[in-house]
Amino acid sequence: MCGIIGYIGEKQAAPILIDGLKKLEYRGYDSSGVGVISSGPNGGMRPVPSKVILRKSHGKIQNLEELIKSRPFPESCIGISHTRWATHGAPNRVNAHPHSDCEGKILIVHNGIIENYEPLRDALRKRGHRIVSDTDTEVVAHLIEENNRGDLVQAVQKAIKQLDGAFALAIISSDYPDTLIAARVGSPLIIGLGKNENFVASDVPAILEHTKKIIYLKDQQMAVLKKDSVRVFWFGGKAVKPKVDVVKFHMDAVQKQGYAHFMLKEIHEQPDVLAQMIKSRLKGNQVILDGFGLTEAQLKGIKNIALIACGTAYHAGLVGRYVIEKLTGIPVMVDAASEFRYRDPIVDKSTLIVAISQSGETADTLAAVREAKSKGGKVIAICNVVGSSLTREADGVLYTHAGPEIGVASTKAYVAQIAMLYLMALKLSAHRKKIAARARLRIIRDFKRVPALYKDILKHKNAIAVIARKNSHFGCFLFLGRNVNYPSALEGALKLKEISYIPAEGYPAGEMKHGPIALIDEYRAVVCIAPQSEVYEKMISNMQEIRARKGKIIAIATEGDQAIKAHANHVVYIPKTNSLLTPLLVALPLQLIAYYIAVQLGCDVDQPRNLAKSVTVE
């Protein structure tokens, strides 16, 4: 939520900042801004004092770029910038970051929420400060101003002591044109190390073009960046010798590479993501879960499992519950992380907590993890982003290594999450007698075939696009599934509504008669997930009930099932596989249906309204 990039070096700051912001636009895109410090001689005639120069705009970064083109910055080698997802205050120019102090000398950009900003703001106003925006952020600039006694670092230290909440901050001041300060609590912030240049950013893609050497700033740490040095220390002042990581991914990973949208590119990456996971995690029939952090004895001692996650990752957890219970017999609870804390969950030392998150920065998931740990539970993270907050707080990490996911709607991360849950279930099943060894081996064999089956489905994507287009006029969709594919129905509905804005409900098909059937008429489309399985006949009955009420049906069925055509208006086929594995396969046509409908409706697929990629506020 919100993206930050700052630069200090020898190059012109503004183009680097704008370019970096575009890579972070997935984090928020309702307004943006760049602030730089100009300094130096005025044509060699007389020294000109440094001053800050700001350009801010509402809407997407393109607007900001056009503004800067029409009113270019003067020369400047230091600056900070921000793309916003509004929390406090409307998404307009005034509330866009950077924010400044009364004198317009200090500039700050912020990701997170300052929870006590109202009393701070009221007190600052009483002391004569002019606060012009509705944001929680602006108070920080004024607090720094108030505490500035000739040492910017100390002023920042004193100011942040007064803050409650979460923040990643980047700060510059025209009185210190050779210094860029970064500080974090709760919200992610990284430092990029270059040659005679250094960077601060919310996430790696923003600076990947310039450096692969990264310091992941920890909570309660600050950094002072000069063009040729970086000093990291705890808020209290104690110096830190930071670990420098070298990130592996290439620029291709954060570019569209000819695809119309990141979402489509990421959908196409899924077979490779799965193949890579299988290669590294399955040696013969043995599941290798490096990072799990549990001994064989601890694995045997697990009495129950709690899966916690938000949104799409929560749906992955719901699939995981079916799979783990069926393969291991271990009771599993699944909670939306935002609810977990409030229901006083029964968790103890024998509970394995599995927190699932693409970003590893989702505030509710992190809060749920802290709650679970406080009750003695052991926490394993299934996470995509290396070094994220979740991975640092968990006792063990299973990285999905799906590569950067830029499209706001999660696709490859979801598939990687459920694949990892299958692997976890297979690993745990080796210690239990819930399924026969031969059956377990058959699942492993079929699991290994999934990447190839994905490629088969992708060959038919044009046919899926035609079906999607034909149904894009429906004003309301219902997604129905049973058993392992009930969560698939939830996920299919979520994908559609978030990128096309069409109201869509996911339901267990058996529940349809208990209410949603009232929705059915000739103006509703119903996606029925009905691959061959033990609940197939029941799905067919549901489809007959829908047809009897004139509802229009898109069925997702197993290749070769000709009979289903009699009950559906359109059929999308997936290859035959073990019924337990079908959520992995049906995810793909569901993503494609949502994608092509959204494109047909002219929606902004990669940056749907009101959404942001990672939700770092509760």
Q: Which residues are catalytic?
A: 2, 613
Q: Give the nearest distance from C-beta 393 to ligand F6R in angstroms.
A: 13
Tell me how crowded residue 229 is: count the other CB atoms within 10 A of its CB: 9
Q: β-strands 180-185, 229-234: how paired?
A: unpaired
* 98 cis-preceded (ω within 30 degrees of 0): yes
Choosing from 111, 174, 221, 312, the residue that interacts with ligand F6R (CB under 6 A) is 312
57 contacts ligand F6R (rule: CB under 6 A): no
**Nearer CB in complex with ligand F6R: 73/596:** 596
Taking the alpha carbons at both ends of the chain, their separation in whole angstroms is 11
Q: Give the nearest distance from C-beta 496 to ligand F6R in angstroms.
A: 11
Q: What angle do CA 224, 7, 391 make, to 5 degrees?
A: 70
Q: Give the nearest distance from C-beta 361 to ligand F6R in angstroms.
A: 7
Dihedral over Cα of 268, 274, 275, 280: its sign? positive
> Which of 118-126, 290-298, 306-314, 585-593 is the region at the interface with ligand F6R (rule: CB under 6 A)?
306-314
Q: Which residue is nearest to ligand F6R (CB)?
A: 311
Measured CA distances, 556 to 76, 515, 570 (Å): 57, 23, 9
Q: β-strands 332-336, 304-309: how paired?
A: parallel
Residue 7 · residue 16 · CB < 8 Å: yes
608 contacts ligand F6R (rule: CB under 6 A): no
* Rounded Cα–Cα distance for residues 10 and 417 (Å): 42
Q: Give the nearest distance from C-beta 27 to ligand F6R in angstroms.
A: 11
Q: Give the nearest distance from C-beta 486 to ligand F6R in angstroms.
A: 17
**Nearer CB in complex with ligand F6R: 133/616:** 616
Smallest Cα–Cα separation from 99: which of 77, 74, 62, 129? 129
Bridge partners, 168 (sequence order): 111, 184
**Nearer CB in complex with ligand F6R: 363/557:** 363
Residue 429 · residue 256 · CB < 8 Å: no
500 contacts ligand F6R (rule: CB under 6 A): no
Choosing from 36, 330, 615, 617, the residue that interacts with ligand F6R (CB under 6 A) is 615
Q: Give the nearest distance from C-beta 365 to ligand F6R in angstroms.
A: 5
Q: Which two tokens stand for residue 510?
A: 């058996």
Q: Give the nearest distance from C-beta 355 to ligand F6R in angstroms.
A: 9
Q: β-strands 525-530, 504-508: how paired?
A: unpaired
95 contacts ligand F6R (rule: CB under 6 A): no
Q: Give the nearest distance from C-beta 491 to ligand F6R in angstroms.
A: 8
Q: Give the nearest distance from C-beta 341 to ligand F6R in angstroms.
A: 16
**Nearer CB in complex with ligand F6R: 198/270:** 270
Choosing from 144, 409, 420, 484, the residue that interacts with ligand F6R (CB under 6 A) is 409
- The site for ligand F6R, by CB under 6 A, has a size of 15
Smallest Cα–Cα separation from 574: which of 419, 422, 452, 453? 453
388 contacts ligand F6R (rule: CB under 6 A): no
270 contacts ligand F6R (rule: CB under 6 A): no
Residues 542-601 that bind ligand F6R (CB under 6 A): none
Smallest Cα–Cα separation from 372: which of 421, 323, 417, 309? 309
* Rounded Cα–Cα distance for residues 185 and 188 (Å): 8
> Which of 117-125, 135-143, 308-316, 391-399 is the region at the interface with ligand F6R (rule: CB under 6 A)?
308-316
Choosing from 38, 198, 358, 542, the residue that interacts with ligand F6R (CB under 6 A) is 358
AA identity, residue 441: L
Q: Give the nearest distance from C-beta 358 to ligand F6R in angstroms.
A: 3
* Rounded Cα–Cα distance for residues 605 and 25 (Å): 13
483 contacts ligand F6R (rule: CB under 6 A): no
203 contacts ligand F6R (rule: CB under 6 A): no
> Which of 69-77, 101-109, 151-159, 351-359 is the region at the interface with ligand F6R (rule: CB under 6 A)?
351-359
User: How deeply is 252 buried, as exposed, middle or buried, from its count of CB atoms within 10 A (0-12, 13-18, 19+)?
Assistant: exposed
Q: Which two tokens stand for residue 613?
A: 């990629």
Q: Which residue has the tokens 């979520």?
A: 494
Q: Which residue has the tokens 């109202």?
A: 118
Q: Which residue has the tokens 């990490």?
A: 397
606 contacts ligand F6R (rule: CB under 6 A): no
Choosing from 135, 157, 400, 614, the residue that interacts with ligand F6R (CB under 6 A) is 614
Q: Give the nearest distance from C-beta 312 to ligand F6R in angstroms.
A: 3
357 contacts ligand F6R (rule: CB under 6 A): yes
Largest CA distance in the chain: 87
In the DSSP assignment, the letter for residue 243 is P
In the DSSP assignment, the letter for residue 98 is P
308 contacts ligand F6R (rule: CB under 6 A): no
CB-hemisphere CA count at 13 Å for 144?
Answer: 30
In the DSSP assignment, the letter for residue 203 is S
In the DSSP assignment, the letter for residue 602 is T
Choosing from 194, 242, 311, 583, the residue that interacts with ligand F6R (CB under 6 A) is 311
* Rounded Cα–Cα distance for residues 100 and 337 (Å): 35
Residue 278 · residue 325 · CB < 8 Å: no
**Nearer CB in complex with ligand F6R: 215/416:** 416
| Beta-carbon contacts of residue 147 (< 8 Å; ≥ 6 apart) | 154, 155, 158, 159
Residue 395 · residue 293 · CB < 8 Å: yes
AA identity, residue 129: H
**Nearer CB in complex with ligand F6R: 188/377:** 188
313 contacts ligand F6R (rule: CB under 6 A): yes
Choosing from 25, 498, 505, 606, the residue that interacts with ligand F6R (CB under 6 A) is 498
410 contacts ligand F6R (rule: CB under 6 A): yes
**Nearer CB in complex with ligand F6R: 13/263:** 263
> Which of 97-105, 358-366, 545-553, 572-580 is the region at the interface with ligand F6R (rule: CB under 6 A)?
358-366
Q: Give the nearest distance from C-beta 494 to ligand F6R in angstroms.
A: 6
Q: Which two tokens stand for residue 133?
A: 């925006």
> Which of 19-27, 208-216, 310-318, 366-374 is the region at the interface with ligand F6R (rule: CB under 6 A)?
310-318
362 contacts ligand F6R (rule: CB under 6 A): yes
174 contacts ligand F6R (rule: CB under 6 A): no
> Which of 6-14, 121-129, 307-315, 325-333 is the region at the interface with ligand F6R (rule: CB under 6 A)?
307-315
Q: Which residues of this protein are in contact with ligand F6R, per CB under 6 A?
A: 310-313, 357-359, 362, 365, 409-410, 494, 498, 614-615
